[in-house]
Structure 1
Amino acid sequence: MLMPNQVQRPPRMLSSAQPIQQLYIPSGRPLVILNGSTNGNLQPLYQRVRPLLQEGLAAWAARRGAVVITGGTNAGIFAVLGQGFARYGRPMACIGVAVAQLVQPPPEGVALEPNHTHMLLTEGQHWGAEVYAMYALAAAYGPPAHSLTIVVGGGPNTLRELEYCAAQGGRMLVVEGSGGVADALLDSLSGQRSGEERLQRLAHTAQIYRINLHAPPHVLQVLLDALMR
């Protein structure tokens, strides 16, 4: 098991034109995509979701040899998950997908999360430009029946990511109580929210599961094992 202060190899940098076949990642592994909040003002959320993402998702991904795709930055839920990989070991691959121009050392930009194994840097001028590449990568790796998108909070870019996920026939595991798009989508699913057409469309077309923010980490692991057989 890798300890938090153990020196690790830097992630491999990739171009957006590089085929996934060149990544030398074994096929047939469970694929998890993590979407959601990175806003620096949401530290209480990141503290609350830490057990679920670290003792739950990170430990499970390392045990199962999964492939994980995230937004790749050292911010928000991606930083929390990366710290989990430092504790429990890396999965088969953890690929961060980010906009090259916006990845800069703070305070000019946002640093890359150091516990990812690969980084795919895309063209673009703003956050959200990487969404297409993220889900194109997921689609190239394998069929949606072998993948799952986990949603924690999130804003407009997260909603776009979920629309790509649904368009590919992907499944979503939404963390209830994490705020943002996650809770708004669950409200739409239960009929508590109306008038937001994009959320309503997702609620009616996507395959959605839920887990509470305060669920014990082993519950997430059991759920992942059941969904990713």
Structure 2
Amino acid sequence: MTGPDNRASVKDMAELPKVIARLGLTPNVPVLSLVGGAAGLTEDIMPVVTDLLAQVVVPLLERLGAVVVYGGTDAGVMRAMGTTRRAASAGFPLLGVAPEGKVAPSAIAGTAAPLEPNHTHFLTVPGRVWGDESPWLFAVASAIAGRAAALTLVLNGGDVTVIDVEHSLARSIPVLVVAGTGRTADLITVNSPDARARVIAESPITYVVDARDHASARERLSALLRTAGRTGA
């Protein structure tokens, strides 16, 4: 079902194409799924993240007419994306995807997470805890991208970010990890002490760039978002 302010809810993944159409989002365009730190993104890392978004990510997304799919709550990398997009007067869509038990009016009083105020569209999906939205995030990305490219960008992050990345790879959506943004993003290396992080790093569609090397980040991001889609069903 759809509601005011470009918001909708969905219960069945088979309904996604219809719900996306009712939201007014155009399919077969590049899609960037942004995952990473929320409350755990610290003040010392935030300038690194916002600088990369402002100098590299947001201008490229605007040129490509891409869609961003993200958690959509007002924290961490999601807040950084929203404020950076607004500051740049960019027009690309920001689609939030979150579990209804965390953001919907039916959430337990006082526990509903505030939405990132710069989102243009919002989709609630089944779930009661953070991480329940992870498979939906990439189902949505695949449905919008269609024949175009889909890519997951990892900035900082915690345990849910690992789940997100695993779902991205399961759908054959490439992952671009930004080292130097802390926590999960810095843990994903082939020599990581964490077994799940090593598996992610060893995937042939996982790429790593340095947060402060904007030229290399721009080149890799551009190449991945311009590649014809090969996302899984």
Q: Classify the TM-score, shorter chain.
A: 0.7 to 0.9
**What is the distance in 2 between the residues matched to 1:80 and 1:23?**
24
1:113 positional shift:
0.9
**What is the distance in 1 between the residues matched to 2:112 and 2:81?**
20
**What is the distance in 1 between the residues matched to 2:143 and 2:88?**
27
Query: What secondary structure is seen at the aligned counterpart in 2 of 1:43?
Result: coil
Query: What secondary structure is seen at the aligned counterpart in 2 of 1:32?
Result: strand
Aligned residues: 214
Q: Write the letter of the residue equivalent to 2:185.
A: A
Q: Write the letter of the residue equivalent to 1:95.
A: L
Task: Write the mapping of 1:162-181 to structure 2, written as runs, cut at 5 A.
Answer: 162-181=165-184
Q: Which residue of 1 aligns with 2:30?
A: 30
**What is the distance in 2 between the residues matched to 1:175 and 1:33?**
14
1:150 positional shift:
0.5
**What is the distance in 1 between the residues matched to 2:187 and 2:85?**
29
Query: What secondary structure is seen at the aligned counterpart in 2 of 1:73?
Result: coil
**What is the distance in 2 between the residues matched to 1:41 and 1:151?**
12
- Closer/same/farther in 2, CA of residues 72 and 11 from structure 1, 3 Å limit: farther
**What is the distance in 1 between the residues matched to 2:142 and 2:41?**
32
Q: Which residue of 2 aligns with 1:86?
A: 86
Matched, 1:223 2:220: yes
Q: Which residue of 2 aligns with 1:4?
A: none
1:16 positional shift:
2.0
Residue 124 of structure 1, aligned match among 117, 123, 127: 127
Q: Which residue of 2 aligns with 1:193?
A: 192
Task: Write the mapping of 1:1-229 to structure 2, written as runs, cut at 5 A.
Answer: 11-17=5-11, 19=16, 20-39=20-39, 42-103=42-103, 108-143=111-146, 146-186=149-189, 189=190, 192-194=191-193, 196-216=194-214, 219-229=216-226
**What is the distance in 1 between the residues matched to 2:175 and 2:147?**
10
Query: What secondary structure is seen at the aligned counterpart in 1 of 2:101?
Result: helix
Q: Which residue of 2 aligns with 1:6?
A: none
**What is the distance in 1 between the residues matched to 2:110 and 2:180?**
30
Query: What secondary structure is seen at the aligned counterpart in 2 of 1:129?
Result: coil
**What is the distance in 2 between the residues matched to 1:206 and 1:158?**
19
Give 5+ residue unaligned stretches, structure 1. Answer: 1-9
**What is the distance in 1 between the residues matched to 2:103 and 2:134?**
15
Give the structure-2-normalised TM-score. 0.82
- Kindly indicate whether the alpha-carbon contact (under 8 Å) linking 2:72 and 2:78 is maintained by their aligned counterparts in 1: yes
1:101 positional shift:
2.8
Aligned-CA RMSD value: 2.4
Give 5+ residue unaligned stretches, structure 2. Answer: 227-233
- Closer/same/farther in 2, CA of residues 206 and 182 from structure 1, 3 Å limit: farther
- Closer/same/farther in 2, CA of residues 101 and 215 from structure 1, 3 Å limit: same
**What is the distance in 2 between the residues matched to 1:69 and 1:96?**
6
1:212 positional shift:
1.2
- Kindly indicate whether the alpha-carbon contact (under 8 Å) linking 2:200 and 2:206 is maintained by their aligned counterparts in 1: no
**What is the distance in 1 between the residues matched to 2:96 and 2:202?**
29
In the TM superposition, what whole-angstrom CA distance separates every residue of 1:175-194 from its partner, at most 9, and x where no partner exists?
Answer: 111121111112xx2xx224
Q: Report sequence identity in percent.
A: 30
Give the structure-1-normalised TM-score. 0.83
- Closer/same/farther in 2, CA of residues 145 and 86 from structure 1, 3 Å limit: closer
1:227 positional shift:
2.0
Q: Write the letter of the residue equivalent to 1:139.
A: S
1:107 positional shift:
6.7
1:167 positional shift:
0.6
